[in-house]
A and B are shown apart, each in its own frame.
Chain A
């Protein structure tokens, strides 16, 4: 019998919170086997199979249709999938894993507080230094779409997969676009958020793939949706 494959982050707080969220709805997700083995089981409902994956891989697996449903950050789906809403259904925000994708600049830049300021500063920076103002990020699509929509020019994105807040001090970027929850890391690195620089408010979200083969799974899906009160 075929089953609904549910992709869930394989470790950490995101996994635990996801397990809690399903438990609140009478469905028990759990890891099985040894501590290091990525295997899982589902109790309390039939026809659902747990697939433990890295949160970062869940968007791709949804897009490929290799899993039917998945839990991951709404930021990751929007950034990694072109035309994301043609590929997945946004079933439910889950109320945890909150993080804002923002643009931040050095706090010492007293003259830069808005995107309008950033654009003007970028233009002058390019004239002075001979290259475009660098914004370090790993969220290339979201940041580029946002800045294009807002009409900011003369910048370039430079890839930063970690410790992004340190890039300005290390002279590898002039500004950053990254996720933050409390803003503490930004402050510790002498960075401030632009007042209109909020790109996306992310949280853990349950998605359904539009690309997966749902044939024969209609009843199981309806059952699961009913249990989740969706």
Chain B
């Protein structure tokens, strides 16, 4: 494993390249208020981040990544458009043993906040990071969660069903379960059928959740039960979309072949992005498009996503990133700006360069 000093020195070289690309260096605090992160990610982040208490500032977290503090800093003080870079440690609890499962490591990152041309910004970030790693035999995978969102929006079904599916894009098991429920392919649980037939409990009411909240949910379930099921062929098309993995250049044609409505704009964005990547010298032949890429990572990426990974599947990606427009809306209290960024792990990079990994 690379020493911290070696990782830091290698990270500084990359940071310099990011500065040369026009980014302003920022140094967010290591101690971050826990509340914002917990509110965004809930228990998932509590399992992964170190939480500590400060007598004045309350519950704090050792930063688990840079994205949230960078967005906060930009929303508070930033001028547009903006490019930021940073180098520093992040801290993650590890639930499994293994040499690659380190709980503190350096990240060097580059983030772009720009309204003008989102796909060009996507390509800029990817090409810049990939360019730093061009001497290594890495596998590059890209995806676009906007395609899945567009497919959900395009479904002819209740808005409530679409909202529930969108909410679970990052939880594949629940997503699949809901799809089976909404298409009538999963049997209705007996208790649900009884509920819809009017069954209620005579137990005393306890707890903060109110009877009105229950009645509102029963009304939603009643509306749902009356709605037409999502056709099985639409479900099959959606699953074919989720399983799509192909050379990046083929992605637009393959996506057009999927029999789903509402994908045109998302496919056009992919074409624009691929052209922008090519214009920056990225060889599309070396890129794989995976429609489900980014579904099992942190739920803030909502558009373009990418990873650059070594052959050894036990190693985490050397570089990863993506677009997080919705996160800026959540943290910007009404304001929002399209944003995309990515990080490289310089420690891992040193290992790979030294042939030690």
B192 at the interface (CB under 8 A from A): yes
Nearest-CB residue, chain A, relative to B221: A111
Contact with B along A122-137 (1 / 0, CB 8 A): 0111001100110000
**In the complex, what residues of A have CB within 8 A of residue B213's CB?**
121, 124-125, 128
Q: Give the dominant DSSP class at B's interface.
A: helix
- Tell me, in angstroms, the Cα distance from A128 to B215 when the chains sit together: 13
Contact B189 A144 (CB under 8 A): no
A182 at the interface (CB under 8 A from B): no
Point out the residue from A86, A128, A168 that lies within 8 Å of B206, measured CB to CB: A168
* Stretch among B41-49, B263-271, B301-309, B315-323 lining the A interface: B41-49
Name the residue among B38, B43, B201 with the largest chain A CB count within 10 angstroms.
B43
A215 at the interface (CB under 8 A from B): no
- B29 CB to closest chain A CB, in angstroms? 24
Contact A113 B42 (CB under 8 A): no
- B207 CB to closest chain A CB, in angstroms? 5
Q: How many residues of B contact A (CB 8 A)?
A: 42
B135 at the interface (CB under 8 A from A): no
Binding site for A on B (CB under 8 A): 38, 42-44, 46-47, 94-97, 164, 167-168, 171-175, 177-178, 181, 189, 191-192, 195, 199-201, 203-209, 211, 213-214, 216-218, 221
Question: A113-B191, A116-B178, A149-B173 are contacts. A129–B168 as well, Cβ < 8 Å?
Answer: no
Nearest-CB residue, chain A, relative to B44: A148
**In the complex, what residues of B have CB within 8 A of residue A147's CB?**
43
Contact B201 A108 (CB under 8 A): yes
A119 at the interface (CB under 8 A from B): yes
**In the complex, what residues of A have CB within 8 A of residue B177's CB?**
116, 151
Contact B203 A82 (CB under 8 A): no
- Tell me, in angstroms, the Cα distance from A171 to B206 when the chains sit together: 8
**In the complex, what residues of A have CB within 8 A of residue B204's CB?**
108, 190
Nearest-CB residue, chain B, relative to A166: B206
**In the complex, what residues of B have CB within 8 A of residue A114's CB?**
189, 191-192
- Tell me, in angstroms, the Cα distance from A154 to B175 when the chains sit together: 15
- Tell me, in angstroms, the Cα distance from A108 to B206 when the chains sit together: 7
- Tell me, in angstroms, the Cα distance from A147 to B47 when the chains sit together: 12
Point out the residue from B46, B95, B211, B217 that lies within 8 Å of A120, measured CB to CB: B217
Question: A152-B174, A153-B167 are contacts. A110–B195 as well, Cβ < 8 Å?
Answer: yes
Question: A116-B177, A144-B43 are contacts. A171–B207 as well, Cβ < 8 Å?
Answer: yes
Q: Give the dominant DSSP class at A's interface.
A: mixed
The 7 closest A-B pairs by CB, nearest first: A151-B174, A151-B171, A107-B203, A113-B191, A151-B173, A168-B207, A108-B203
A35 at the interface (CB under 8 A from B): no
Interface bin, chain A? 35 or more
A207 at the interface (CB under 8 A from B): no
Question: A82-B95, A83-B95, A153-B167 are contacts. A129–B43 as well, Cβ < 8 Å?
Answer: no
- Tell me, in angstroms, the Cα distance from A152 to B42 when the chains sit together: 11
Point out the residue from A132, A144, A149 that lies within 8 Å of B47, measured CB to CB: A144
Q: What are 14 A-B interface contacts by the 8 Å CB criterion?
A: A82-B97, A107-B201, A110-B214, A111-B214, A116-B181, A119-B174, A124-B217, A144-B43, A149-B173, A156-B43, A156-B46, A157-B46, A190-B204, A195-B191
A223 at the interface (CB under 8 A from B): no
Question: A116-B181, A153-B167 are contacts. A83–B97 as well, Cβ < 8 Å?
Answer: yes
Contact A153 B42 (CB under 8 A): yes
Contact B217 A156 (CB under 8 A): no
Nearest-CB residue, chain A, relative to B199: A110
- Tell me, in angstroms, the Cα distance from A171 to B100 when the chains sit together: 43
Contact A106 B203 (CB under 8 A): yes
